[in-house]
A and B are shown apart, each in its own frame.
Chain A
């Protein structure tokens, strides 16, 4: 099962991708699924089981995100 982390800005999404990868978390940038947002940018897809770990990493680095949605 996958999850996506939504951000207010694509800049934050790329920053998050950078940090998650440096912690060896499997992730990739994808276009934001239309049913989740009307925005035109991208989000970070992770394995749903990594949700808590990803939250910890983002919080520790003060990377703001909107929410994490299980797909």
Chain B
């Protein structure tokens, strides 16, 4: 039976853990709010980009000819999978879900899979497993910038157009709600067919655009930007999802710690009462013996 002092010590230890998890939860909550704002802020750009692109695609007609839209140069080359994990742990099953899905993707794919690892957790996992790694980036989520997405896009486009990869996909956690993140795979290259119906909003006027420079050049200028935007969106989503996951995980941890403290306190009180009763009996029976 643990002594009173041991119990008190344990309660104190659990209490300080609880304080840490509580603080982490609060921090994650405020970071989440900021991350959500960034997603909202990034949305108009992405939407407008897609609209203009699909508009252009229907107009120029030479869409299929562009290397980023065309089927791969080397169909036998491996698929390049960008895996976006977090830099830090303590966020529930966030990273392990991603890594598991990444591994499943590699096993189920009918081609070989090369990886582009973004985020420390995924890097640390796959770097030791002899995976063909084409890209690595860690420590970016503290200060996430568009430049990060540009670097990813540059590698992706380079690998695809040079024939080193037969396709590029990105695997990341999408931010659904605070309680829910969903692991999704998006195909980045070749760029999936641009849906013309998305440009419906102002079809009446858009029929007679002028272009400066010519439409084909604008189109091929824009495609790489489109790839960047897609990567950037994935990074932002992942960042928000990470904070949401951490918030939920730390909330659960705080609650568990609270329960544990309650249980321990109850136990401690019982032990104390037992000691008091025993002492009383000793005193009483001692008095009787006299």
Does B associate with A? no
Name B residues whose Cβ lies closer than 8 Å to a Cβ of A: none
Name A residues whose Cβ lies closer than 8 Å to a Cβ of B: none
